[in-house]
Structure 1
Amino acid sequence: MNDGTRAGPDDGPGSPDGSDGTPKLPARETWRALYAHFRPHRWAVALGAVFALVGAVAALAQPLAAKALVDRLGEDESIAGILVVLTALVVIGTAIESVGAYVLERTAESVVLAARRSLVGRLLRLRLPEVERMQPGDLMSRITSDTTLLKAVTTQSVVSAITGGVSFVATIVLMALMDAVLLGVTLGVIVLIGGVVALVMPQISKSTKKSQEAVGEISTVLERAFGAFRTVKASGAEERETEVVNRAATTAWRYGVRSAKWQAAAWSSVGLAIQVSFLAVLGIGGARVASGEISVSTLVAFLLFLFYLIDPVSKLVEAATQYQVGSAAIARLVEAERLETEELAPGPSTSRATGGSGAAASVVFEDVAFRYRDDLPPVHHGVSFTVPGAGMTAFVGPSGAGKTTVFGLIERFYEVSGGRVLVDGRDVRDWSLPELRAAIGYVEQDAPVLAGTLRQNLTFAAPDATDEDVREVLVRARLDALVDRLPDGLDTLVGHRGSKLSGGERQRVAIARALLRRPRLLLLDEATSQLDAVNELALRDVVAEVSRDVTVLVVAHRLSTVTLADRIVVMDAGRVRAVGTHQELVARDPLYGELAATQFLASEPTRPDGAPERAVEEDEAGVPAS
């Protein structure tokens, strides 16, 4: 059952990433972020660039060899040596460029790997409010598709810009030495069409960014649908959910096509520039040959240089295109890197030994105020209570009273707006997070079970647990019979989010996982809501046993779970209205008395005239006896 305090996440309208759109980074910041990814691999990229330059030099030497070949033909000299040189230039140039391409591709994959490792490590340390503000699918798309786009811009774009630029300048210089007039004709055409290319580059960046956002929305919608797959089927919502995914996919397609259109325009402009230049040079060059101003061999070499100019120009256009595509991805990655993370300062190991050592923890709330966001109403208004250590303390009250938020503040999932939360007399803000959480076992409302085996789920918070420890906790959580029935025992796969387990089984797995940690402080949030009466009573016995040495805090709407608690904290509208035992609160707190009466737990309630009423008897299932 929901406590009603989960109003923190931003469920309002917005872009797929939870904001109004990914901000476009200034060029300086984009290059700074680009260099941060590029820097660890700069020597490998430099090596690839050297190979590419050597290949470019070999290519540039070919028109000169061709000119010499034509001259020798005119002078009726042997051309065998020139043919050997030409062949060697072609073979060597191709081989060197192939090696350079491999080095760059390998380096590009290394860039992506490093970026994904860094981003995953950071996203898993995000503060909970940041995760609740974002969409999980969008965060996943940044790790997958955005980092893939990063590959192109950090290596291909950089190297293409360097090698293309050097080759372009070298080609232009050689063409100038041959004939300045023909060079002027060539540059005039290239500059004219180059202006058109410059105009379409921003459109490529804009379309790519929108396409990536739409891909993130696809991931978000699919994650939602598969996360509630039974609900989707039971609601007959397959077609509606399919339509939602189709809309997101159509949006991604539309912007992808738009980006492809602008990229096609850029490449077509390059091809058009070269072809027009070729025709102009052929016409004007032919006239200059006829007039005797240049030789035929010079015109042939110039035309070959013009063809070879296609490669550096293409590389420069590719670099610009990849930069526009990659800059959109970099902006999204930088935004993810700027999300607020938890500072996991060094502390004691989070092993069972750490969690289980020491006395039971005490918990004190001192005038605590809290709200999820500045634009939302407060959840806690000066909450104060004391849990001295060991024993069981229960938190009850209507939905929205702020009970679950108590646990979130103890775990430091959220930071208080005012007041203090003390564990063992120390403000939780003075603890290192690993040390604080190593002392706590936490069972959430929805008792999440992760994909994997049952053993992996049980030992998730206690990876060093022995088989004997696991067997002991299976018995305590009433899971031993389940394990005996499973085909592969503890090594049975439980499915996505524990889909192969019942709700009660998932809850018991979560409880066993927390107990295996041997915490000093155990937080149980609606830990029995999906258990049957027999297992609920068994768990009550386990909790009672554990609470002799461990501080146990329980949030429950089913009061049958907490009637034996050492103390019960009654919360209402973000405040503590009463603290006492079950009998004390039935007698003196109207809200608790109403909750107890509603659930047939009011033992010996008092009538207005002061006379006791007959207690309502219950059977083991909590149902009034007939």
Structure 2
Amino acid sequence: MAELWPYLRPHRRILLIVAGISIVGAALAVAQPATVSVVIDAVQNGRSMGPVIALLVGLLLGGAIVNGVQQFLLQRTAEAVVLRTRRDLVQRMLSLPIAEYDTRRTGDLVSRVGSDTTLLRTVVTSGLVDAVAGSLVFLGSAIAMALIDPLLLGVTLAVVLLATLMVVFLGRRIQKLTLLAQTQVGLLGAAVARAIPGVRTIRAAGATARETAAVDGIATEAYGTGVRLAKIAALIQPVVGIALQGAFIAVLGLGGYRVATGSMQVSELVAFILYLFMMIMPLGRVFQAYTAIQNALGAVIRIREITALDPESESEPESASTDAGPVPVDPASPALEFRGVSFDYDGVPVLRGVSFRVERGTRTAIVGPSGAGKSTILALIERFYDPAAGTIELDGRDVRRSSRAATRARMGYVEQDSPVLAGTLADNLRLGSPEATDEECVAVLAAVNLTGVLERDPRGLAAQVGEDGILLSGGERQRLAIARSLLAAPDLLLLDEPTASLDSRNEVALREAIDAVAQRRTLVVVAHRLATVADADQIVVLDGGRVRAVGTHDELLGADALYRELAEHQLLV
């Protein structure tokens, strides 16, 4: 209950109503054997049976109606529990610190939203309330049986206790296996999510059979765990059956003897046996409910593993007083400044003592060999991570003194492999600017030389871009990402290797687009091809996580050996 209550608490009012209905249903059920006993006495004594039979029929119909209402309320509540849990889980997943996504697999996260949350439905529909209702009927039956014959009740409870101990033992195994099974389902989802986006690469490399075998291996492991789980779960029903048969045989034998000796009436024995069945059948429901709850607890552990993580908004340094409002602009300060910034990733040093300034309205390029820390600088500006030492100032203000949302609202960010979301051109453009008009979308596409995409499809902005933008070329995807950032009218635009994967023609088109949008904006561009940034106002040369030199293209050719070597390799000297 401690584990499940957070998910059930928002629905406690309707659950109390269902519990009340369960009490009524239990009372109607417990009254039926007693009524049958009265019918038998009436037959034996020659009394009229009409009123008693009418009462019995009324009890049966009332119990059926109560059960139907209860099931409807349970199903609706179960769907509400799953919906709320999925909402909370997705919200937490999408707000986790970026570092969490670096170590987790997408398919596993998706399985927690899908299959894990679905198990919570079972807790409500055939778990928790079934356990409560079954327990009420069990208790009522036990009281009635005690009134009829305490000795027979003692024999019955001894058999029931043995069955209960066996079910509890099996239930603990079920929880452990369910956790393992759900984890393996997550791994399977992660393997499929890895293979499908890369299916073209896999086919081209002739690796289809190997990838299929890898996914099949994980699926086989999940199957094995599922079979083990099924074996244990399958033992529950025989245990209930054995308990019912054992108790029935014991009661029938001992009860028959007591009837023969005159210690017990036939009507009492019949009523006792009916109560016995009424006790054992709900007990079966309780055992099944216990199994369902153990199943759900395995899934709850995986769900709580994510919901227990702090979201990004709670990851502010304790020493900083964070303001949620817009970042104030100081015209006298540089647009961006790094002061002695150091950063480690998973214990590995990435940046060490990085310092440079970016003046307002200028274009700054960051260059250097692979692994120098270029992309990390943009990630720190975007506050995907916070530096281990030093400060990053935006308009003269430490970015950690403002909320991440307020900081990011001032800038646009185009990643090295800019994702294009499945949907339309308009969907992608309005990702960060949902209120943008069609005219504004068309204008920003024109600014990055993407008018041709509109013209070749009669649907215009409603044209589909395909999964991961597969219907667009690499250059078009990159320019669409820039257009998406520009639509939000940022003061600072961050571009991470915008021409890294483009041919010379697309590179020229993208450079023209960058030149067009650079006016009245501050640009920070991470570049591999120096030709795209040779005309930058300043170039920051990184090597081994440190700033080697800062200057213009011409200045660095004469002042820095590494830059000159890079330029020579790219035939710029």
Question: Does the pair score TM above 0.5?
Answer: yes
2:100 aligned partner, one-letter code: E
Call closer, same or farther: CA 1:293–1:357 in 2, change over 3 Å.
farther
CA displacement at 1:520 relative to structure 2: 0.7
Q: Distance in 2 between matches of 1:563 and 1:274?
A: 86
Tell whether the 8 Å contact from 1:125 to 1:342 is kept in structure 2 after alignment: yes
Whether 2:512 is the aligned partner of 1:512: answer: no
**Equivalent residue for 1:178, pick from 136, 148, 172:** 148
Whether 2:463 is the aligned partner of 1:523: answer: no
**Equivalent residue for 1:537, pick from 508, 514, 525:** 508
| Equivalences, count | 566
2:518 aligned partner, one-letter code: S
2:337 aligned partner, one-letter code: V
Tell whether the 8 Å contact from 1:355 to 1:438 is kept in structure 2 after alignment: no
Tell whether the 8 Å contact from 1:356 to 1:517 is kept in structure 2 after alignment: no
Displaced runs of 4+ in structure 1, greater than 6 A?
354-361
Tell whether the 8 Å contact from 1:392 to 1:544 is kept in structure 2 after alignment: no
Q: Which residue of 2 is the match for residue 451 of structure 1? A: 422
**Equivalent residue for 2:412, pick from 441, 444, 457:** 441
List per-residue Cα deviations over 1:95-144 (Å, max 9, x = no partner).
Answer: 11111011011101101101111111111100000111111111111111
CA displacement at 1:524 relative to structure 2: 0.4
List per-residue Cα deviations over 1:477-519 (Å, max 9, x = no partner).
Answer: 1110121112422111111111211211111111111122211
Whether 2:178 is the aligned partner of 1:208: answer: yes
CA displacement at 1:360 relative to structure 2: 10
CA displacement at 1:254 relative to structure 2: 1.5
Q: Which residue of 2 is the match for residue 192 of structure 1? A: 162
Tell whether the 8 Å contact from 1:526 to 1:555 is kept in structure 2 after alignment: yes
CA displacement at 1:444 relative to structure 2: 0.2
CA displacement at 1:533 relative to structure 2: 2.9
1:296 aligned partner, one-letter code: V
CA displacement at 1:563 relative to structure 2: 0.4
List per-residue Cα deviations over 1:192-224 (Å, max 9, x = no partner).
Answer: 222211211111001111110011011101111
SS of the residue corresponding to residue 371 of structure 1 reads: strand
CA displacement at 1:340 relative to structure 2: 2.9
Tell whether the 8 Å contact from 1:33 to 1:334 is kept in structure 2 after alignment: no
2:344 aligned partner, one-letter code: R
Task: Kindly report which structure 2 residues correspond to 1:197-346, keeping only aligned pairs within 5 A, or say none.
Answer: 197-343=167-313
CA displacement at 1:33 relative to structure 2: 3.8
Q: Distance in 1 between matches of 2:414 and 2:331?
A: 21
Task: Kindly report which structure 2 residues correspond to 1:33-182, keeping only aligned pairs within 5 A, or say none.
Answer: 33-154=3-124, 156-182=126-152
SS of the residue corresponding to residue 383 of structure 1 reads: strand
CA displacement at 1:67 relative to structure 2: 0.4
Whether 2:403 is the aligned partner of 1:403: answer: no
Deviates more, 1:41-50 or 1:443-452: 41-50
1:373 aligned partner, one-letter code: D
Tell whether the 8 Å contact from 1:393 to 1:566 is kept in structure 2 after alignment: yes
**Equivalent residue for 1:558, pick from 517, 529, 548:** 529
Q: Which residue of 2 is the match for residue 500 of structure 1? A: 471
Q: Which residue of 2 is the match for residue 471 of structure 1? A: 442
Unaligned runs of 5+ in 2: 315-321
List per-residue Cα deviations over 1:248-281 (Å, max 9, x = no partner).
Answer: 2222222122122111112211121011101111
SS of the residue corresponding to residue 153 of structure 1 reads: helix
CA displacement at 1:306 relative to structure 2: 0.7
Q: Distance in 2 between matches of 1:566 and 1:595?
A: 18
CA displacement at 1:357 relative to structure 2: 13
Q: Distance in 1 between matches of 2:439 and 2:328?
A: 18
Q: Distance in 2 between matches of 1:80 and 1:216?
A: 61
2:217 aligned partner, one-letter code: R
Deviates more, 1:454-463 or 1:116-125: 454-463
Q: Which residue of 2 is the match for residue 373 of structure 1? A: 346
2:25 aligned partner, one-letter code: G
1:164 aligned partner, one-letter code: G
1:294 aligned partner, one-letter code: M
Deviates more, 1:566-575 or 1:141-150: 141-150
Q: Which residue of 2 is the match for residue 430 of structure 1? A: 401
List per-residue Cα deviations over 1:408-446 (Å, max 9, x = no partner).
Answer: 000110111111111111111111111110111000010
Q: Distance in 2 between matches of 1:117 and 1:355?
A: 34
SS of the residue corresponding to residue 571 of structure 1 reads: strand
**Equivalent residue for 2:539, pick from 561, 568, 574:** 568
Q: Distance in 1 between matches of 2:16 and 2:126?
A: 12
Q: Distance in 1 between matches of 2:268 and 2:225?
A: 47
Deviates more, 1:169-178 or 1:541-550: 541-550
Deviates more, 1:504-513 or 1:309-318: 309-318
**Equivalent residue for 1:386, pick from 357, 371, 375:** 357
1:498 aligned partner, one-letter code: G
List per-residue Cα deviations over 1:7-45 (Å, max 9, x = no partner).
Answer: xxxxxxxxxxxxxxxxxxxxxxxx334111111101111
Deviates more, 1:442-451 or 1:31-40: 31-40
Deviates more, 1:592-601 or 1:492-501: 492-501
CA displacement at 1:168 relative to structure 2: 1.3
CA displacement at 1:235 relative to structure 2: 1.6
CA displacement at 1:538 relative to structure 2: 3.7
SS of the residue corresponding to residue 201 of structure 1 reads: helix
| TM-score after normalising by structure 2 | 0.95
Q: Which residue of 1 is the match for residue 556 of structure 2? A: 585
Tell whether the 8 Å contact from 1:478 to 1:535 is kept in structure 2 after alignment: no
Q: Which residue of 1 is the match for residue 317 of structure 2? A: none
Q: Which residue of 1 is the match for residue 456 of structure 2? A: 485
Deviates more, 1:564-573 or 1:228-237: 228-237
Q: Distance in 1 between matches of 2:311 and 2:444?
A: 33
1:335 aligned partner, one-letter code: E
